[in-house]
Structure 1
Amino acid sequence: MNSLRQRVGKLLFVGLEGKAITPMERAWLRLIEPSGVILFRRNIEEIHQTRALLQDAQSLSSQPQFRCVDLEGGLVDRLRDLIAPMPAPAAVFATGKSRFYQRHGRLIGAEVRLAGFNMTLAPVLDLALPASSAVMRTRVVAENPEHVATYANAFLDGLAQEDVLGCGKHFPGLGGGTLDSHHAMPSIERTWPELWKNDLAVYRALAPRLPMVMVAHASYPQTQDTAPASVSRFWIDSVLRKKIGFRGVVISDDMEMGGILTQRSIEDAAVEAVAAGTDVIEICKDPVLTLRAFEALLRESERSATFLRRIEAAGRRIDTLRRKLPAATLDRRIPQDRILRMRTVVQKFAEEIAR
């Protein structure tokens, strides 16, 4: 039986500070043993360095790690400087060709694997509504939920061909928001019937095949719960789990974002999110916040038998998904010509999309 510390640590996906693991990071990664790491541009210099960093993080864990990156294409593309800029989802969708949607997913999956990752936090499932156009821009593909589901289904097919996991985001939908949840919490004035018929229709269509769903730091005051969705039992347990029937892993959006830290302390946010049904807490940079969240979850697990059962249920879902991870291949250097071939393929795809 794993220790309580290990069971709590399993619920964390964490960011790292730089391009190599520091002695301090090495100490707390061994202590917490998070089930996932997520890298950003600050961590990524070139392919071999990125793979080495991921291998080093994996060496500090007794279990296979989720090695995550945000790679949607367009505005969110952490590998653009290593390989080539990947076309944005909106540009790919605008072709109207489902074979391009699938190829988008497959090329993103191939890039992700080349750099040593096994998961990308994509596709974005938010609707392309006028309210959020200045915030979401080319990250979203369509206003019609059926069109969004069509693109996402093909995109997920492409990821699967490369043995890479995806994550649908941002539940229950940021399409009606005017604020960027990185900085403040959007208050989305959409009614329950509007959300159910439109924003949530995408999740209803994709729930059986999404490995993971990310929950937004946004409130929906015209529904039953005005709390941020990321800490809401109504949204996570009642709607996503029970009404929609999602059985995969629920992950929070980054708990360092202004959308939640303007509303809650990191300790309260982490505990409330897990109590509401979240399986994975994502903390993308600050080790102080990571440790504070970890200790808060540990204390609540020791205090409450109900909360401990939630921790254990989350751990079982994480373990189920972990078994779908491909075998680690981080010990092999990637030939330079393979990187160059990948660059050429992505550039040609971008030219096709532009035409």
Structure 2
Amino acid sequence: MRRTEACGHLILGGFTGTTLPDSYARALRKGERAGAVIFRRNLRPEKGADADATAVAELTASIHAAAPEPPIVAVDQEGGRVARLGPPVLRLPAAARLGATQDEDFIERVAYAQGCELAALGFTTSFAPVLDVHTHPENPVIGDRAFGATPEAVSKMALAFARGLRKAGLFPCGKHFPGHGDTTKDSHFELPIVQGDRARLEAVELAPFAAAARAGLPALMTAHVVYPALDEKPATLSHAICTDIVRTHLGFGGVLISDDLEMQAVAARAPIEELAVEAVSAGCDLLLICSNEDAQARAYEALVRHAEAHPSFGLRCEQAAERVRSLRREFPPRPEQERERLVNIVGGASSRAIAQELAARGLAS
């Protein structure tokens, strides 16, 4: 694989507007992006249930059409306060409320129903489940996004959710490695630090990710958090964490995805060019750069330059690209593009049945 081609598989970006920009479509066609992440800013104002679902499907279809290989089409649709897609897509409660049921079969069925809708709309992943353990009451970013306050509860309930997504044809992505649940700062704005010795981190933060690795989860997402007991660098940029722990210690064989490199926890540290090279060197396989197309282009160009100048880094890029390509091939888009069939899946009978069961359990959001 040529180095320029390999580096293109390592960038997953986002864009502004409700249609795919020509600039982003060109980057996809040239193989300089692995796909795209869809946010609420990309969705049309609702025009009724059918029109909304159709608009989302049209947008994802344009991404599929532009990409020469099956693209990753991602969305954050955890449930609760983190849900980019509104009605008619199935509304889920926060993970903490699902986890409190302690009903793995139910959680798997809920995730399967959601996953079927997302697959019908043309997505290949929802960045879920959260594998963080909620251990700090003042945590501003995780809180009820976690499935529980113990590693045992999180491992069981989050992995049940992952099974449901995978059964629906999406790849689940566990986050935020190696654990964001004990922070008091939001990494969107500041660099959090998690104290605690290695034994505590092993027993609490790392335990759900170890379970995910054993279960064969296909993707994990890093945290922009410093763990002094592990390394002085944020996890996303740490070889000790992204390679030594995730690959050697946990035996994880899937794709390691960085959290968004535009978040201030790391963006305040260095330019995007340096962050991209540092994250891939650390062990990240796929870099999220969710908003700025210019930043995505600069990161891609920096990866190519560094790969061409440093053979060992070039090999690292090729290794990462092969992991990403394998993931893309295993989980290609499976959209339901016919309008009549789409509306039977999104908000259809199966989803309505799950919504009714959620309501009966007092979990309607």
- The TM-score with structure 2 as length reference comes to 0.91
Q: Structure 1 stretches (4+) deviating beyond 4 angstroms?
A: none
Question: Which stretch shows the higher mean deviation, 163-172 or 76-85?
Answer: 76-85
Q: CA offsets, 1:188-230, max 9 Å, x none?
A: 1122111011111111111032100101111112x14111100
The offset of 1:337, in angstroms, is: 4.1
Which amino acid counterpart does residue 284 of structure 1 have in structure 2?
C
The offset of 1:77, in angstroms, is: 1.1
Which amino acid counterpart does residue 328 of structure 2 have in structure 1?
R
CA separation of 1:107/1:329 partners in 2, compared to 1, >3 Å: closer, same or farther?
closer
The offset of 1:272, in angstroms, is: 0.3
The residue aligned with 1:218 is 225
Which amino acid counterpart does residue 217 of structure 1 have in structure 2?
H
The offset of 1:44, in angstroms, is: 2.3
Which among 281, 290, 308 is matched to residue 302 of structure 1? 308
1-structure distance, mates of 2:342, 2:328: 28
Q: Which structure 2 segments of 5+ residues have no match? A: 45-51
Mapped pair 1:136 → 2:142:
yes
CA root-mean-square deviation: 1.8
CA separation of 1:317/1:23 partners in 2, compared to 1, >3 Å: closer, same or farther?
closer
Mapped pair 1:275 → 2:281:
yes
- State the secondary structure of the residue aligned to 2:206: helix
2-structure distance, mates of 1:47, 1:202: 34
2-structure distance, mates of 1:213, 1:101: 20
CA separation of 1:67/1:127 partners in 2, compared to 1, >3 Å: closer, same or farther?
same
Q: CA offsets, 1:86-139, max 9 Å, x none?
A: 111111111222222212221221221122101111000000112554431210
Q: Which structure 1 segments of 5+ residues have no match? A: none
CA separation of 1:329/1:110 partners in 2, compared to 1, >3 Å: closer, same or farther?
closer
CA separation of 1:24/1:317 partners in 2, compared to 1, >3 Å: closer, same or farther?
closer
The residue aligned with 1:255 is 261
Question: Which stretch shows the higher mean deviation, 278-287 or 33-42?
Answer: 33-42
Query: Which of 1 and 2 has higher RCO (CA within 8 Å, sep 6+)?
Result: 2
2-structure distance, mates of 1:238, 1:131: 30
CA separation of 1:31/1:330 partners in 2, compared to 1, >3 Å: closer, same or farther?
farther
Mapped pair 1:322 → 2:321:
no
Which among 171, 182, 187 is matched to residue 177 of structure 2? 171
CA separation of 1:344/1:24 partners in 2, compared to 1, >3 Å: closer, same or farther?
same
The offset of 1:84, in angstroms, is: 4.2
The 5-angstrom pairing of residues 187-202 of structure 1 reads: 187-202=193-208
Question: Which stretch shows the higher mean deviation, 38-47 or 296-305?
Answer: 38-47
Contact 1:126 1:174 in 2 (8 A): yes
CA separation of 1:163/1:335 partners in 2, compared to 1, >3 Å: closer, same or farther?
closer
- The TM-score with structure 1 as length reference comes to 0.94
CA separation of 1:323/1:302 partners in 2, compared to 1, >3 Å: closer, same or farther?
same
